[in-house]
Amino acid sequence: MGQDDEDTAFSEKIINEIDAVFMRDPELIAFEIIPMPLNQNKSPVIHVEHNLGLQSWCIDCVYSYAHRLILLYRNDWLSSSAPPVGCWSVTWNVADKGKLSGGASGLGPGSNTSNGGNVPIIKYLNFAILINPDVATFWNLRRQLFAKNRLDIAKEFHFSTLVLSKKPKSNEAFAYRRWLYLFQSSDAIDWAFEISLCEKSADKSNTNYHAWCHRQWVLMKAPNLLKYEVHKTEKFIRKHIHDYSCYNHRQFVLAKMFELCYYDEEDDGSEQIGEPVGNGSECSRGRKYNALCALIETLTGGAAPSPTDDATVNNLLRYLLPAITKEHELNPLRVRTFLYCLNQAAYDLRLCSQLATLHSVSQALENHRKFMVKFLIDRLRVGSGWLLNTSAAIYANPGGCQQPLSKVTRLDEDACEFLQALKAHELRRAHGDPRHAQWCKMFLGIGTDQ
């Protein structure tokens, strides 16, 4: 037996062992390549407690072998009108035909019941993708097999999860999952699992752009999960201070909540104010939107309205938007969304300040702070018109007390004490910092000459 025949037999043996693990253990949770430069004279496939490992010394040989067979299979498929299961073109040699058409050393009908049925190429695809998941040709071949009803969708989801355990930044794996979801009903999809998968992938690899993009795609499909993202992203940020990908995702969540008028009904930003009363068993009543009120007090140096119920919340709203009066009919949903999002932005400004104090200076923190400042200023500028109940016929009663829409929506910035204080605060930071001054001029529309 020549060297090539020995390499072929060895590669086939390793791929069959991995395929046997897939059949024997449908609950695999992780795959990893184990650094081992030298042959240990034993099987390089390690399977322990639902974890699959492969020693590195055999990878080059086995991967080259699997890669060659996959390309031959693909070329033969392209030259025919149907998947080549038992009938092969003349480009295949006898040995290759035997391996992929169900011969003794290949994958015949019934020999792989885990996934793929009697599709012989699947075990080679499994191995090649586990080793190198960034090859689009491999994933496209899986798509073609799935389209021919040769693969099980649940096991395909499981396989892509296994791939992400090895390479959490695999864009092809995330793209494949999104493609698979086209064949499932939205009611049958566990979107919470997708969020947790993205979170695990991002936790394993910093600045995981593909995981965060997939997470945003999930939120657009299931916006009811937005309210949980506020708490999850804060926890992630406190763990990964310099990972701006999470900050960017948090900004996406806040902007999307404002756009969809979606907020957490159980979270009105209440925090206990004052000291415990008596024996400490009772506390003074919580102040709603406390982060926003605290920011107002810090910037203006005066007392901000302290909303504790729905009636006093209107006082805070009219303080923020002087153009709004009692006579204006507002959209209640938008009012709650407006105050919730502004309170969340104020909370993030406080969070950035706390983290900057505890940790070293971070550009990610500064960029996030700038986004929240811009978010506050932009929303205060357009808040009056956005809050109006546009479904009402505002011009239905010209003789009434309602002002024309053009006057209501044009907020006089000079009348908003909080907005002026926020702009002045940013201008003070711009002194001695030309880059921040340029940012204020370009994105906030304010200059140092104001």
* pLDDT for the residue numbered 271: 64
Residue 430 domain flag? yes
Residue 111 domain flag? no
More confident residue, 92 or 330: 330
C-alpha to C-alpha distance for 162 and 434, rounded to whole angstroms: 49
Same domain as 262, residue 208:
no
- Region 60-80: what's the mean pLDDT? 89
Same domain as 410, residue 267:
yes
Residue 87 domain flag? no
Same domain as 264, residue 201:
no
Residue 84 domain flag? no
Per-residue CA distances from 367 to 252, 302, 364, 425, 442 (Å):
14, 28, 5, 16, 15
The single-letter code of the amino acid at 198 is C
Same domain as 304, residue 229:
no
* pLDDT for the residue numbered 306: 76
Q: Does residue 434 carry a pLDDT above 50? A: yes
Pick from 13-27, 181-195, 270-284, 337-351: least confident: 270-284
Q: Does residue 283 carry a pLDDT above 50? A: no
Same domain as 52, residue 125:
yes
Per-residue CA distances from 332 to 108, 130, 224, 259, 392 (Å):
65, 52, 19, 15, 13
DSSP string computed for 424-435:
HHHHHHHTT-HH
* pLDDT for the residue numbered 15: 95
Instruction: Give the list of residues 6+ apart from residue 55 with CB closer than 8 angstroms, or none.
Output: 33, 34, 36, 40, 44, 46
More confident residue, 280 or 386: 386
Which residues is 45 bridged to in the sheet?
54
Residue 94's CB is within 10 A of a number of other CB atoms, namely: 8
Highest mean pLDDT among 117-121, 262-266, 423-427: 423-427
- Region 227-239: what's the mean pLDDT? 94
* pLDDT for the residue numbered 383: 87
Same domain as 39, residue 131:
yes
Evaluate whether 329 touches 392 at the Cβ level (below 8 Å): yes
pTM: 0.84
* Count: domains in the chain: 2
Evaluate whether 69 touches 80 at the Cβ level (below 8 Å): no
Same domain as 137, residue 7:
yes
Question: What percent of the chain is modeled with pLDDT above 70?
Answer: 79
C-alpha to C-alpha distance for 449 and 246, rounded to whole angstroms: 35
* pLDDT for the residue numbered 88: 33
Q: State the average pLDDT for the chain.
A: 82
Q: Does residue 86 carry a pLDDT above 50? A: no
Q: Please name which of 135, 126, 60, 66 lies closest in space to residue 96, comparing C-alpha atoms.
A: 66
Q: Does residue 90 carry a pLDDT above 80? A: no
Pick from 33-37, 104-108, 281-285: least confident: 104-108
Residue 94 domain flag? no
Beta pairing class for 30-34 and 45-48: unpaired
Evaluate whether 169 touches 205 at the Cβ level (below 8 Å): yes
Same domain as 295, residue 371:
yes
Per-residue CA distances from 292 to 218, 284, 322 (Å):
29, 19, 17
Residue 292, domain extent: 258-271+286-444
Q: Using pLDDT thresholds of 50, 70 and 90, give the confidence band for residue 110.
A: very low
Q: Using pLDDT thresholds of 50, 70 and 90, give the confidence band for residue 180.
A: very high
Q: Does residue 204 carry a pLDDT above 70? A: yes
* pLDDT for the residue numbered 37: 81
Beta pairing class for 271-272 and 286-287: antiparallel
Evaluate whether 213 touches 197 at the Cβ level (below 8 Å): no
Evaluate whether 212 touches 249 at the Cβ level (below 8 Å): yes
Pick from 60-64, 174-178, 308-312, 359-363: least confident: 308-312
Evaluate whether 254 touches 375 at the Cβ level (below 8 Å): yes
Evaluate whether 242 touches 221 at the Cβ level (below 8 Å): no
For the stretch 25-39, pLDDT in tens is 999 999 999 998 888
Evaluate whether 85 touches 107 at the Cβ level (below 8 Å): no
Same domain as 265, residue 204:
no
Pick from 52-61, 153-162, 327-336: least confident: 327-336
- Indicate the SS3 state at residue 393: coil
Q: What are phi and psi for residue 241, nearest 5 degrees?
A: -65, -40
Residue 412 domain flag? yes
Q: Does residue 211 carry a pLDDT above 80? A: yes
Q: Does residue 399 carry a pLDDT above 50? A: no
Which helix (H) or strand (E) element contains residue 199? helix 191-204
Same domain as 265, residue 214:
no
3-state class percentages of the chain: helix first, strand second, coil last, to nearest 5? 60, 5, 35
Evaluate whether 50 touches 162 at the Cβ level (below 8 Å): no
Same domain as 428, residue 339:
yes
* pLDDT for the residue numbered 42: 84
- Region 386-404: what's the mean pLDDT? 49
Evaluate whether 246 touches 364 at the Cβ level (below 8 Å): no
Residue 93 domain flag? no
* pLDDT for the residue numbered 450: 59
Same domain as 323, residue 404:
yes
- Region 154-158: what's the mean pLDDT? 95
Residue 174 domain flag? yes
